[in-house]
């Protein structure tokens, strides 16, 4: 008898084009995961509105995010790709779980503190409670595994706590999810401030590379990348800029640091930066072409998202019905 594949859930917010860091840290691995797991991929537009969005932009970016994920290899025949707001059960479960989550647990969440500091004009209740919605996203599909980076470990721990607490009170209901640590190599840092993670919210546009940046823009950003005065291509703790570029080059070429150091021995940073830019733009070129093709085919894209929402809802609605029964909601 064939062993049942484990279920894995991943989500990404549609707040602008994905960065090189998003691609390396998450999206690049999603295609490969489809072979070994039952994958559910979510465009987390409900999470996006914890920071005020322009409605027309959010709608457009949600469609663009779906097209880009498909261009990166997500196969709607093998995986479920859907938009979070298309499955109302997420919000329904989130309310029940909010009533099972201690206030104190939410006050300890790092990202609430960080985002509150970044957006002091819009510290809303959703920003405080969105880790519960994130727990609902995971638990509603009884996901076995959730790919997590360092930033998300605390959210996964909350989801585990919520599941264990609910199971303890109401009986076995939720799968307690485990983290899946993808083999992604080093975290991709800002090209301008290599001590900071690459982010599209960076005020300096030269700090990040977007997956849809054209070839000239990619080359220009890498040419402007911060290095140091040493002039030697080698990885070291006191060479964060060069080490970050080596990490990027390693991801796209498969060469380790020793091989990269040997390849660029005696060659200047200018040559090295150009080489990094070339491998990145060559990797993104076919993805960009496929993205444009998919985005232009509105009927196909809408069909994928409609089908994905239907398949996701079939699982999510069963979970909510079970939870409603457990907590004592009258069902007719």
**Catalytic entry in 6, 200, 223, 326:** 200
User: Is residue 153 flagged as an active site residue?
Assistant: no
Written as six digits, the tokens of 199 are: 């982010």
Task: Kindly give the interhelix angle for 110-118 and 153-170, rounded to the nearest 10 degrees.
Answer: 130
**Among 6, 113, 153, 197, the one annotated catalytic:** 197
Q: Which residue out of 115, 221, 239, 273 is catalytically annotated? A: 115
One-character DSSP codes across 22-46: HIIIIIHHHHHHTTTSEEEEEE-HH
Alpha helices in the chain (DSSP H): 20-22, 28-33, 45-48, 55-71, 89-98, 103-107, 110-118, 125-139, 153-170, 215-223, 240-253, 257-263, 269-296, 298-327
- d(Cα 173, Cα 330) in Å, to the nearest integer? 18
Residue with tokens 């009533």: 99
Is residue 115 annotated as a catalytic residue, yes or no?
A: yes
Q: What does the alpha-carbon distance between residue 244 and residue 226 come to, in Å, rounded to a whole number?
A: 10
User: For the sheet containing 38-43, what is the strand order?
Assistant: 80-83, 38-43, 7-12, 145-147, 178-180
Let me know if 292 is a catalytic residue.
Answer: no
How does DSSP classify residue 17? S
Residue 258: Cβ within 10 Å count: 10
Positions marked active-site: 115, 197, 200
């Amino acid at each position: 008898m064939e062993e049942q594949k484990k279920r894995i859930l991943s989500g990404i917010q549609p707040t602008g084009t994905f960065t090189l860091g998003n691609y390396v840290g998450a999206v690049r691995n999603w295609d490969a995961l489809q072979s070994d797991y039952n994958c559910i991929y979510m465009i987390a537009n409900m999470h996006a509105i914890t920071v005020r969005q322009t409605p027309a932009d959010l709608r457009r970016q949600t469609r663009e995010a779906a097209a880009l994920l498909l261009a990166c290899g997500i196969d709607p025949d093998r995986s479920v790709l859907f938009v979070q707001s298309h499955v109302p059960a997420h919000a329904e479960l989130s309310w029940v779980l909010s009533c099972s989550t201690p206030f104190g647990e939410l006050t300890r969440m790092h990202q609430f503190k960080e985002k509150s500091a970044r957006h002091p004009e819009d510290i809303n209740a959703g920003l405080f409670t969105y880790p519960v919605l994130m727990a609902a996203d995971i638990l509603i599909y009884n996901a076995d595994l959730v790919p997590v980076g360092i930033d998300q470990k605390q959210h996964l721990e909350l989801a585990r706590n919520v599941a264990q607490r609910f199971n303890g009170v109401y009986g076995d209901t939720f799968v307690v999810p485990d983290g899946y640590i993808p083999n992604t190599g080093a975290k991709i840092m800002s090209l301008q401030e290599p001590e900071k993670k690459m982010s599209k919210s960076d005020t300096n546009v030269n700090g990040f590379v977007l997956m849809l940046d054209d070839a000239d823009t990619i080359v220009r950003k890498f040419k402007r990348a911060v290095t140091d005065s040493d002039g030697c291509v080698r990885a070291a703790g006191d060479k964060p800029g060069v080490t970050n570029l080596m990490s990027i080059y390693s991801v796209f070429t498969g060469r380790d640091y020793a091989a990269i150091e040997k390849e660029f021995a005696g060659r200047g940073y200018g040559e090295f930066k150009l080489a990094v830019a070339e491998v990145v733009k060559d990797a993104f070129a076919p993805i960009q072409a496929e993205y444009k093709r998919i985005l232009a085919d509105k009927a196909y894209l809408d069909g994928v998202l409609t089908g994905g929402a239907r398949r996701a809802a079939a699982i999510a609605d069963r979970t909510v019905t079970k939870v409603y029964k457990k907590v004592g909601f009258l069902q007719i």
